[in-house]
Amino acid sequence: MPFAVWTNAPCTLRNGAAGMWPSGAAFVLLGAAAALPCMAQESETDASASLIQPLVINGAQPLEFGTLAIPPQGECVYELDVAGRTNAPGGICQFIGGDRFAARFTLSCAASALVQYQMIHTNTAPAGAEFSAPSGVMEVDGAGPGPAFQTLPCDTDGISEVAGAGRLIVRAGTVHGFTGAVGTIRLEVAYD
């Protein structure tokens, strides 16, 4: 807070404002300097941005188990890996026929940019069956099977190929003659 100091010294400007009373008594206001305008100043900074092409999933191929046997008792676990190979449960658990292939996604992305890939499996199988993700559920650009969440660089050509595996458990009593979707595989991608 400003305060006044009375003095008989001549008026000088030091650390504040100064002046003279008509009677010749000088005063100096101290602490008022903050309220006085200062010389104008200026500064500048840069504006920056990173420009990158959007991530676009260009194509998808569904996972196909083919025709599978329903066991008369117990359960059968059918797995299809990222290369489209099947496990060999044997006995009453059989891949009977039809096409079998892994899910496939094609992604356009900035060459060599880090991308987060997440594969999410959802079960929609009929009563008595259950669709899920096996271990080694996802492969990106031939890097080998890995977990459902991975951070890897986009391929150097700007196109990444993603493969997805699946597991279907079929129990005794599952509806005979069912043909259709047993689940969904969703691929979510984002730049890291």
Beta strands in the chain (DSSP E): 3-7, 16-20, 26-30, 56-61, 67-68, 75-80, 95-97, 103-108, 114-123, 129-132, 138-140, 149-153, 159-164, 166-171, 183-191
Residue type, 119: M
pLDDT-above-70 percentage for the chain: 80
pLDDT score of 40: 83
**58 and 148 Cβ atoms separated by less than 8 Å:** no
Measure the CA angle with vertex 169, ends 133 and 188; round to 5°. Answer: 20
**163 and 119 Cβ atoms separated by less than 8 Å:** no
pLDDT-above-90 percentage for the chain: 69
pLDDT score of 164: 98
Q: In which element (H, E) is residue 80 found? A: strand 75-80
For residues 186 and 108, give the distance between their C-alpha atoms in angstroms, rounded to a whole number: 16
Residue type, 132: S
Greater confidence (165 vs 53) lies with: 165
Give 14-73 pLDDT, tens digit per residue: 454 444 445 454 444 444 445 556 678 888 988 988 777 899 998 889 999 999 999 999
> Which token pair is 70?
């329903």
Domains in the chain: ranges and CATH: 3-35 (no CATH), 56-191 (2.60.40)
For residues 133 and 146, give the distance between their C-alpha atoms in angstroms, rounded to a whole number: 11
**138 and 117 Cβ atoms separated by less than 8 Å:** yes
For residues 124 and 28, give the distance between their C-alpha atoms in angstroms, rounded to a whole number: 86
68 strand-pairing partners: 95
Greater confidence (53 vs 6) lies with: 53
Give 60-98 pLDDT, tens digit per residue: 899 999 999 999 999 999 999 999 999 977 889 999 999
Q: What is the pTM of this model?
A: 0.73
pLDDT score of 50: 78
